[in-house]
Structure 1
Amino acid sequence: MNEKALRTLEYHKIIDLLVRHANCEAAKQRCKKLTPMTSLADIETAQRQTADALSRIFKKGSLSFLGVHDVTASMKRLEIGAALSIEELLHLASLLEVAKRAKAYSRNDRTEEAETSDSLDEFFDGIEPLTPLLEEIRRCIISSDEISDEASSGLKAVRRSMKGMQDKIHSQMNSILNSASASGLLQDNVITMRNGRYCLPVKSEYKNQVSGMVHDQSSTGSTLFIEPLAVVNLNNELKELYLKEQEEIEKILADLSNLVSEYIPYILEDYRILSELDFIFAKALLAKDYNGTAPVFNTDGRIRIRKGRHPLLDPKRVVPIDIHLGTDFDLLIVTGPNTGGKTVSLKTVGLFTLMGQAGLHIPANDNSELSVFTDVFADIGDEQSIEQNLSTFSSHMTNIVSILEHVNEQSLVLFDELCAGTDPTEGAALAISILSQLHSRGIRTMATTHYSEIKVFALSTEGVENACCEFDMETLSPTYRLLIGIPGKSNAFAISGKLGLDASIIEDAKSRITENEENFEDLIARLEDSRLTIEKEQAEISSYKAEIETLKKRLEEKQERLDNSREKILREANEEAHKILREAKEVADESIRNFQKYGKVNADNKTMEKERTKLRNKMNEVEKNMAMKPKAPANTKAPKNLRIGDSVKVLSMNLKGTVHTLPDAKGNLFVQMGILRSQVNINDLVLLIDDTNTNEKKFRKTSAGKIKMNKSATISTEIKLLGMTVDEALSELDKYLDDAYLAHLSSVRIVHGKGTGALRNAVHGYLKKSKYIKNYHLAEFGEGDAGVTIAEFK
């Protein structure tokens, strides 16, 4: 591919976007060096890898390759016997962690029913996580500046000795510090380190009073950092321990390096595979960003882009376009006003070709087709060169000459405003000659122009097709839709008029164009109007067809359900009839046999009657099974206006009780049935009319009746006497029982508690003497036990 076309079509901007999705440096370099391929097999392989990575991302999420470091140089150092540094070992551990993560990602991506098989399986299968090696490195090395005490027994012993020695030094230094500070010899009451030695900050005027070695002084010279003689030997011993610690660390690094050297081929292979996967997944992530799909490639020069969107334009504003080239025609002429999207259409075709041949997905609908071209040539944009003293036309022509020299039948050629910038008549003639030569050689070409002569050339030449970018005359704005088969109109007069140019100027301009040119433009306008009308009618027809198809489908489904139901009913009826007939035949046969037998042995009438009864019972049983089971009658006596204390019957339990609460919004209420208190629905109740209720109606007009109704609406079925004296309790109980009796409660609960039993005995004595208490007893276990007494009224 020529570099000029890559720059002109802004291929490098796509590569910049791709590089952002790569993690490791090797993958970033692969992205930067990615160029379009010309081998169909290589292109399809790359597209398949991108598609498989994208599929895995949609299923399991993205796989991070952060932590993949280039370990090639480290492995070469190992091969010549060198030991790895802490940083190199940490980079290796990071690489192995990514390998472990990638291996787990691959295993999780395979379902239990059947393992998926795609082009990336070979990469994932080749990864060796080397988990034991990773764990050993992580066990020994904590960070880039810290080795674990557990890395070796020798290091652990040395560090234990170092800690003991540091404690001794601190103890000695603190003793000196306290005495020196008491004498005012120190600048600060602290212990400092200088050159790895513990020192005290002594005032310069008192340096002779502190015996020791001077290691440093402050910038002003007022403070000297002196190592006291008392800790010199201790510091020397600590220094020796530091050296031993470093020896132990170097020994640990050497042991780890020897261990790593056994896996050099696996490590290098892991690095190669992970770098390649990082590159492939970067392509997939880029495709995910702009909703790209894999194009279908051919070698026949056939291009068919379905709803293509230029990847560098705002996805929320870009208008998808449909372009096809290479089937019925190999030369496409795109015309129309400026800023109408002609150049974008041109660049979309060229950029999609480059992206597709580089193994990148394109932002278009599924089943879009691209052809493999050995080269793409593009003459787009302002080519004026001040340095070479060339005009725009000259620069364009220099580029066109170069294109014509190198182009072949496997090339794609893109021209923007071919032969513009010179005399229109000569420019149009020259453009037609250039396009004719490319067309005669069967070279796939797409060009934009304003020349009417080229529009006529496209209309009159076989294998050449016109196209235009749609323009809305009402809003004076392009729609950016590409319409193949119709030449575009420049609309210069209409646009000028809408923008306010004087009408006389426009009329004068119209008079200066030839009649043929005017008629041609009018023809294009009529074609455009006809196209819009046809498109509108086609859209309506498509809508009607879709509606008809929906109705037809619903009707077919309904008819199918009816047919299935009818067949099922007939089948079941036939089976039931066959069963009845078979049973009837068996009964008839048995009866005939029995009567024949009885006729021979002269059976008595009693036996004959017994047989008839048996047959009659059999028939009755069949009739009973065939009869429809009647539905349970609805409760038509559900009470409307219940009051607390009303006597009711709970139908589902077949028990009588007393209304304890009024029904809620759903009709649920509590009914006291002896010692049982249950929530039921009002529809499950029947109001019982007894003598008491009858008498109550008589007394409703009296004041006593009003008292009774008030009592029934407020009285509770329970009284609590807890904490009262016997006299207080019996007074309250006497009043409560009167109210309860007036409210027609069938029974009440008297809560007196257990305690010493005095209150319970007093209550029982009172109940025993009461004239309207039928009986009383202690509550059952779980309902209050000996602390509650249930009293029932007569």
Structure 2
Amino acid sequence: MNERTLHVLEFNKVIDLLLEETASSVGKEAVQKLTPQTDIEIVQRLQNETDEALHVLMLDKTVPFSQVYDITESLKRSRIGSMLDTTECLQVAQTIYTGRNLKSFIENVEESFPLLEEIAEEITPLKFLEKEIKRKIDDHGDIVDDASAKLRGIRQTIRTYETRIRERLQQLTRTKSKMLSDAIVTIRNNRYVLPVKHEYRSAIGGIVHDQSSSGQTLFMEPRAVIDLNNQLQQAILQEKQEIDVILQQLTSEIATHEESLLINIKVIANLDCIFARARLAVKMKAAKPTLNEQGIIDMKQARHPLIPMEHVVASDIAIGDDYHAIVITGPNTGGKTVTLKTIGLCTLMAQSGLQIPAFDGCKLAVFNKVFADIGDEQSIEQNLSTFSSHMTNIVNIMEQVDEKSLVLFDELGAGTDPQEGAALAMAILDKVINCEARVVATTHYPELKAYGYNREFVMNASVEFDVETLRPTYRLLMGVPGRSNAFEISDRLGLRKEIIEHAKSYLGVDSKNVENMIAALEKSRNEAEKKLEEANRILEESEQLRADLQKEWNTFEQKKMELYKKAEEKAEKALQKAREEAQIIVDEVRQMKDKAMWKEHEWIEARKMLDEAQPELVKGEKREDVQADQQELEVGDEIKHKTLQQTGQVIEKKNKNEYVIQVGVMKITAKRKDLVFVKKAKDEKADSPSRPVSHMISSRGGTVKTELDLRGERYEDALLKLEKYIDDALVQGYPRVTIIHGKGTGALRKGVEKYIQSHPFIKSHRLGGQNEGGSGVTVIEFQ
């Protein structure tokens, strides 16, 4: 990327903002190396990395960037055999710890972030090396006693010598206190001494190591401790030698893992840079751009990244789709240059993996080259004027521009004769547009106001100026060239009317027509904006109305469900009451003398029918049901009991409003309002009188008998019927069924038994009891 462009667009100031968001020195170094990329795949990956980091921050997670040190130089020294000190070793351990924590954090965060996980995967934990360093060096940078057995022994010897020396010197302080300036033991030149008065030097005897500033006190090592001090110094020297051995061992271990440690540092720096980009995006309220290679830029409410949010004016900027060039006209200090820098700087930021300060959905192209000719760059040393300086830069741009370029011209053609400058500006624009590059230019020349209307791929634009306040609004108006507003401003400032009218008479017809056209365009745009605001207002009101209606509907649905729930509870209570009443009837009947007429499994089935009955809300009655309820019932009619939700048959009519019905094995007296007519009684031929109704149970899936009679069937046909019957009984949920196979030769009974033994859902089976048919019947129980 062009270094001059980076400087002119102040990309370095964006880097400065990014540096403030880093957490480590290695991260700062990575940020300082950040430059715009030109490969769209690389740029897309950078953007995706920033977006993943942003989502991690949105989870309100603190990224564990604890202390990280740049240990590169230490690793180089370890490789060539130079011994690292304790501080350097601790920095290595701390860096290992940070890398390990970062890797664990990214791998264990709630959501999946594939790119960050891929980057963190390169970190080698090296926990054993970190542990070894921390085991031998404490947090203050001192080698611990247990770093080696030899060091522990040496330090124990040192403490012993120190104790003996202090004891002897303290004894002298008690016996020779009058000869001492102070009764203390101190150290000079790493040897234990006493502060002796000058006149008692000979009385104490020994070696003088120092004296006070007045010369009245001598710091002497008495003869009694000279040998002990010598032995202590020897032990201290041994300690230093052992510490060097330990540090050399750690240095060698660190050098062994130099490559992994360098990769760890690189990865930590990269992650720090990525999360710095994400934090800057949060501060700027930036958005991830959609990238393309077609030269399309489309930003809604784009802001200059370096202007504080409370002062910057956002603009909608689009180029590269229907038109390739924008010519911006308007007064000085109106914001033209800011617009140029916004486009250029946002492009550079996007190609560096930074999100841009604009609304979501913005689009930016990835350019191979970005050129900018902005600002007054006179060179006194080179004797170049403003025009010459700009032209030198433009010549350089013309030699390099192509279809993958973005070109930004500020005050194109300025600094020379207006007519020649305007002509030169149009020729330069034509050249750049013919190269299919994307170009944005600002100018004061009125000739360029009509330029966009005569070129297919050029769009006029201007920066708005408020004549009432005599101040620019800094808003970019696409499709409308700028007006000079000189006459309006002069009038507002009090210039006499006749002078203004006289000045207008000097204007040519073409100039007046252009000004009138621009004024008409501005009027149309203002009206369109007002209508858009009104439409937005109506849309907001409609959305609010829709939200209110949705809220009301939700309230209605909630109340409806509450009513349904109450109805279900009421039905459940009624059903429970019916169950209790039916159970009483069943218990009473079972106590009757003719109990032997009923089979045990029929009682169980009847009970099951009561237990499985569920209340169902009827949300709306059909017309046929209403008519059926009004119909008078006859004996034999099939009916449905509303509360029990079971079908049955009328067996007796007591009166017009009361009937006795048969439901399964139960006879119940029921009111007419509780019964729903289903159909008239069946033909006598259709019903088999040979079997009582109690041998059948009605279910929602149809009627299946609780016993199967295979007597008289051929062997193969009997087994086929048995297989189908077992499946039907399982679907109905019967706990047990009865198979009637008769006694005969016993072949059919054996076939039935063999099939039952191989069936996975049959829990057990037995022959019938005394009142159940004996060996001619097999009773099956299901799982």
- TM-score normalised per structure 1: 0.70
Check whether the contact 1:60–1:109 (CA below 8 A) recurs between aligned residues: no
> Could you tell me which amino acid in structure 1 is paired with residue 149 of structure 2?
S
1: CA distance, partners of 2:297 / 2:472: 25
Measured at CA, do residues 450 and 164 of structure 1 come closer, stay the same or move farther in structure 2, by a change above 3 Å? same
- Compute the displacement of 1:277 (Å): 1.5
> Could you tell me which amino acid in structure 2 is paired with residue 290 of structure 1?
M
Structure 1 unaligned blocks of 5 or more:
596-607, 624-794
Check whether the contact 1:86–1:144 (CA below 8 A) recurs between aligned residues: no
1: CA distance, partners of 2:647 / 2:65: 82
Please give the per-residue CA displacement for 1:252-293, whole angstroms capped at 9, x wherever unaligned: 324434544554443333222212212222222222221222
Range that drifts further, 243-252 or 256-265: 256-265
2:478 to 471, 476, 484: 484
Residue 304 (structure 1) aligns with:
298
Residue 124 (structure 1) aligns with:
120
Measured at CA, do residues 265 and 563 of structure 1 come closer, stay the same or move farther in structure 2, by a change above 3 Å? closer
Residue 631 (structure 1) aligns with:
none
1: CA distance, partners of 2:26 / 2:143: 30
Measured at CA, do residues 6 and 79 of structure 1 come closer, stay the same or move farther in structure 2, by a change above 3 Å? closer
Residue 133 (structure 1) aligns with:
129
Alignment of 1:346-365 (within 5 A): 346-365=340-359
Residue 41 (structure 1) aligns with:
41
Residue 776 (structure 1) aligns with:
none
Alignment of 1:691-770 (within 5 A): none
1: CA distance, partners of 2:661 / 2:2: 111
Range that drifts further, 98-107 or 193-202: 98-107
Q: Could you say what secondary structure the match of 1:591 adopts? A: strand
1: CA distance, partners of 2:332 / 2:141: 64
2: CA distance, partners of 1:496 / 1:301: 42
Check whether the contact 1:5–1:376 (CA below 8 A) recurs between aligned residues: yes
Range that drifts further, 25-34 or 91-100: 25-34
2: CA distance, partners of 1:207 / 1:549: 102
> Could you tell me which amino acid in structure 1 is paired with residue 379 of structure 2?
S
Please give the per-residue CA displacement for 1:601-655, whole angstroms capped at 9, x wherever unaligned: xxxxxxx9999xx9995329959xxxxxxxxxxxxxxxxxxxxxxxxxxxxxxxx
Check whether the contact 1:50–1:280 (CA below 8 A) recurs between aligned residues: yes
2: CA distance, partners of 1:224 / 1:168: 22
Check whether the contact 2:651–2:661 (CA below 8 A) recurs between aligned residues: no
2: CA distance, partners of 1:481 / 1:416: 17
Check whether the contact 1:74–1:84 (CA below 8 A) recurs between aligned residues: yes
- Compute the displacement of 1:413 (Å): 1.0
2: CA distance, partners of 1:438 / 1:289: 37
Check whether the contact 2:660–2:668 (CA below 8 A) recurs between aligned residues: no
Measured at CA, do residues 224 and 267 of structure 1 come closer, stay the same or move farther in structure 2, by a change above 3 Å? same
Alignment of 1:454-469 (within 5 A): 454-469=448-463
1:236 to 230, 236, 244: 230
Check whether the contact 1:140–1:147 (CA below 8 A) recurs between aligned residues: yes
Q: Could you say what secondary structure the match of 1:516 adopts? A: helix
Measured at CA, do residues 497 and 172 of structure 1 come closer, stay the same or move farther in structure 2, by a change above 3 Å? farther
1:529 to 523, 527, 534: 523
The answer to whether 1:53 aligns with 2:53 is yes
Check whether the contact 2:410–2:443 (CA below 8 A) recurs between aligned residues: yes
Residue 98 (structure 1) aligns with:
98
Range that drifts further, 6-15 or 133-142: 133-142
Range that drifts further, 18-27 or 76-85: 76-85
The answer to whether 1:171 aligns with 2:167 is yes
- Compute the displacement of 1:376 (Å): 1.2
> Could you tell me which amino acid in structure 1 is paired with residue 342 of structure 2?
T
> Could you tell me which amino acid in structure 1 is paired with residue 21 of structure 2?
H
Q: Could you say what secondary structure the match of 2:45 adopts? A: helix
Count residues with an aligned counterpart: 602
Check whether the contact 1:90–1:144 (CA below 8 A) recurs between aligned residues: no
2: CA distance, partners of 1:587 / 1:276: 79
Residue 682 (structure 1) aligns with:
none
Residue 69 (structure 1) aligns with:
69
2: CA distance, partners of 1:492 / 1:570: 81
Q: Could you say what secondary structure the match of 1:177 adopts? A: helix
2: CA distance, partners of 1:389 / 1:171: 86
Residue 147 (structure 1) aligns with:
143
The answer to whether 1:180 aligns with 2:176 is yes
Check whether the contact 1:68–1:275 (CA below 8 A) recurs between aligned residues: no
1: CA distance, partners of 2:36 / 2:353: 8
Residue 519 (structure 1) aligns with:
513
Range that drifts further, 497-506 or 508-517: 497-506
2: CA distance, partners of 1:452 / 1:609: 105
> Could you tell me which amino acid in structure 2 is paired with residue 589 of structure 1?
V
Measured at CA, do residues 403 and 609 of structure 1 come closer, stay the same or move farther in structure 2, by a change above 3 Å? closer
1: CA distance, partners of 2:625 / 2:125: 73
Identity of aligned residues (%): 42
The answer to whether 1:278 aligns with 2:272 is yes
Q: Could you say what secondary structure the match of 2:70 adopts? A: coil
Please give the per-residue CA displacement for 1:568-621, whole angstroms capped at 9, x wherever unaligned: 8764646996998513896762216x99xxxxxxxxxxxx9999xx99953299
Measured at CA, do residues 337 and 177 of structure 1 come closer, stay the same or move farther in structure 2, by a change above 3 Å? same
2:320 to 326, 331, 348: 326
> Could you tell me which amino acid in structure 1 is paired with residue 671 of structure 2?
M
1: CA distance, partners of 2:661 / 2:230: 127
> Could you tell me which amino acid in structure 2 is paired with residue 527 of structure 1?
L
Measured at CA, do residues 216 and 549 of structure 1 come closer, stay the same or move farther in structure 2, by a change above 3 Å? closer
Residue 107 (structure 1) aligns with:
107
Residue 443 (structure 1) aligns with:
437
Alignment of 1:497-646 (within 5 A): 497-503=491-497, 505-548=499-542, 550-551=544-545, 571=619, 573=621, 581-583=639-641, 589-591=650-652, 618-619=670-671, 622=674
